[in-house]
């Protein structure tokens, strides 16, 4: 079992970064070229463990320590520098500097200083090239949405204690092994797994203006999942349960984890027989978790500040400040300072963003009226200060990103069953016999580019059809929601009193960052679903080894169910 390199004195690490940054600020000079006016050094040290078990076997057991450096150099001044389009068009992974971002695993102070020195030299050359490219663009193009280059912010001094507590690896390995054995009793479930992933991220940050930040965050993810082939058309459908935690001590005990496995087994049994309706358009009721995903994709990404100034972006809400974009009675804000909600530790919580700015609540929509945007240190029209939402994966340039997106309803709302009644009433008024209830969305995606269609999509994990006359409900599968942002948001005709939580990783130009969402259940007068799969598969010709009774193919399946094949 690998042991983690001993953590050096956090202040000594900060001192090395501070001294090398100061040396670079003073010494990086090229005749006839602009000098650095802003520099930021970032260091992330990640200790992680990944455990995956299936059928009682430990498929993956990896524990590692990794350090990554980030260097931001701005040449020119706060009005004009080397960053164009808010950095949205950058791709750090494709640059030469990406080969030099590794920090020493043991954070040896001399090795760290040398790594910073090497990366800084390359980043400075890249900054100068970008600066002249920006100048050239000013000659050949009219950059109509360009504003200043970098906001002026008060430097922050922030320290958090760092820990070296080891992961309880032996205990966790035995837990996932034991739980995964349950699937030996279910040969009809394909590729089942029980996964436990945990990461402790320690972060150092210094800037030329004097900011000094040390933070630590812990993320834990538990996933139980599997696939089954549907009986009528041979489509693989997925069932899963996930837990998102923020402390090692929050990992549930064996009995609670076993309950997750039971839920997945029940779900897969249900999905195996569930019908697929194909395409659907009509009224829909979304739970708080599902609604949170919709707001994240349809609204949240379009309120990221850089999308207001970057070429190639559709700028959906760029000129709508002060206008109605949601029905009256709905407020939206993003608040990374909320650590817990309704018993959930929030993945989107942080204290300081990746530009050294304190996390703070960003006012976005009030009573349906657009009031503001998520902001990093890239200025946007009408706002020249960050609101603490500059985030990145530690490699890409930080940009304005969501932390915990919260949707609240003024004056309360309706209980769930009342919303179901209203759903049926709306469907009847439209002359429809059925409506849709979505209780869980697994994932979503959207496009904000002006080259592409303005649309979003959601992968549905749990969805039901309801007969509006009898109120009979049945589960459906193999559909995903699609829509256009402005259209979908204007079709909200009701909301609930409950609020659900959605969590996970969000992917955008600045990389993958942990996020959370909180929203009430919402009623839409119209939502479109499309069929997800178009290909059917037959069962494997041989049963899995642990369930081989000597029969073959579909005959084995029939015997397994206790059925008798017809004789001729």
| In the chain, domain spans | 10-273, 280-531, 538-568
Residue 88 burial (CB < 10 Å; 0-12/13-18/19+)? buried
CB 394 within 8 A of CB 512: no
Look at residue 131 and give its three-state secondary structure. Answer: helix
Which value, to the nearest 10 degrees, does the dihedral of the CA atoms of residues 98, 90, 292, 359 take? 80
The answer to whether the Cα torsion of 235, 296, 315, 91 is positive or negative is negative
CB 460 within 8 A of CB 480: yes
Phi-psi region of 394 (alpha: psi -120 to 50; beta: other; left: phi over 0): left
Cα–Cα distances in angstroms (integers) from residue 511 to residues 259, 345, 352, in the given order: 34, 22, 17
Residue 538 burial (CB < 10 Å; 0-12/13-18/19+)? exposed
The segments of the chain whose pLDDT lies below 70 read 1-4, 142-145, 451, 551-568
Q: How far apart are CA 169 and CA 63, in angstroms?
A: 9
Residue closest to 473 by CA, chosen among 500, 441, 438, 442: 438
For domain 10-273, the CATH architecture is 2-Layer Sandwich (3.30)
pLDDT of amino acid 455: 84
pLDDT of amino acid 10: 95
pLDDT of amino acid 3: 64
pLDDT of amino acid 312: 85
pLDDT of amino acid 411: 82
Phi-psi region of 43 (alpha: psi -120 to 50; beta: other; left: phi over 0): beta
pLDDT of amino acid 545: 92
Q: How far apart are CA 269 and CA 201, in angstroms?
A: 38
pLDDT of amino acid 554: 43
């Amino acid at each position: 079992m690998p042991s983690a390199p001993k953590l050096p004195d956090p202040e000594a690490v900060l001192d090395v970064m501070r001294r090398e940054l100061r040396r670079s600020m003073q010494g990086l000079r090229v005749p006839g070229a602009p000098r650095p006016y802003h520099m930021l050094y970032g260091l992330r040290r990640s200790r992680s463990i990944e455990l995956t078990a299936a059928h009682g076997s430990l498929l993956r057991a990896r524990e590692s320590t990794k350090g990554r450096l980030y260097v931001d150099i701005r040449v020119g001044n706060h009005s004009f520098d080397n960053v164009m389009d808010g950095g949205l068009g950058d791709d750090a992974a494709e640059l030469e500097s990406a080969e030099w971002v590794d920090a020493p695993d043991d954070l040896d102070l001399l090795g760290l200083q040398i790594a910073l020195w090497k990366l800084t030299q390359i980043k400075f050359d890249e900054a100068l090239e970008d600066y002249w490219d920006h100048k050239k663009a000013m000659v050949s193009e009219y950059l109509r949405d360009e504003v200043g280059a970098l906001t002026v912010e008060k430097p922050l001094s922030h320290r958090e204690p760092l820990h070296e507590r080891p992961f309880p690896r032996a205990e966790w390995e035995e837990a996932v092994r034991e739980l995964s054995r349950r699937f030996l009793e279910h040969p009809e479930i394909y590729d089942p797994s029980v996964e436990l992933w945990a990461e402790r991220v320690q972060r150092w940050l210094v800037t030329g203006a004097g900011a000094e930040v040390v933070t630590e965050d812990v993320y834990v993810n538990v996933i139980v999942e599997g696939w089954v082939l549907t009986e009528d058309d041979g489509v693989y459908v997925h069932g899963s349960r996930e837990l998102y935690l923020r402390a090692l001590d929050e990992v549930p005990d064996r009995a609670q984890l076993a309950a997750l496995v039971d839920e997945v087994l029940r779900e897969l049994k249900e999905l195996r027989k569930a019908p697929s309706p194909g395409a659907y358009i009509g009224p829909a009721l979304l739970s708080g978790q599902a609604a949170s995903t919709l707001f994240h994709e349809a609204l949240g990404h379009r309120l990221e500040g850089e999308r207001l100034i970057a070429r190639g972006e559709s700028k959906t809400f760029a000129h709508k400040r002060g206008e109605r974009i949601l029905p009256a009675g709905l407020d939206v804000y993003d608040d990374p300072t909320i650590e817990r909600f309704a018993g959930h530790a929030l993945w989107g919580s942080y204290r300081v963003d990746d530009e050294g700015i304190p996390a703070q609540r960003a006012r976005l929509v009030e009573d349906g009226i657009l009031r503001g945007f998520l902001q990093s240190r890239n200025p946007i029209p009408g706002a020249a200060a960050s609101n603490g939402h500059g985030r990145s994966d530690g490699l890409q340039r930080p940009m304005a990103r969501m932390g915990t997106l919260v949707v609240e309803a003024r004056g309360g709302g309706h209980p769930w069953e009342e919303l179901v009644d209203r759903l049926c009433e709306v469907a009847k008024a439209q002359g429809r016999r059925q409506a849709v209830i979505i209780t869980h969305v697994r994932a979503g995606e959207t496009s904000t580019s002006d080259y592409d269609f303005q649309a979003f999509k959601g992968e549905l994990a749990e969805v039901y059809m309801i007969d509006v006359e009898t109120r009979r409900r049945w589960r459906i599968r193999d559909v995903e929601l699609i829509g256009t942002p402005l259209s979908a948001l204007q079709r909200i005709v009701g909301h609930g009193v409950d609020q659900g939580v959605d969590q996970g990783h969000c992917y955008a130009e600045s990389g993958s960052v942990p996020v959370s969402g909180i929203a009430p259940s919402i009623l839409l007068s119209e939502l479109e679903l499309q069929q997800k799969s178009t290909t059917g598969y037959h069962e494997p010709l041989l049963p899995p080894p642990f369930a081989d009774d000597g029969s073959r193919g579909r005959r084995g399946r029939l015997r397994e169910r206790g059925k008798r094949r017809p004789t001729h």
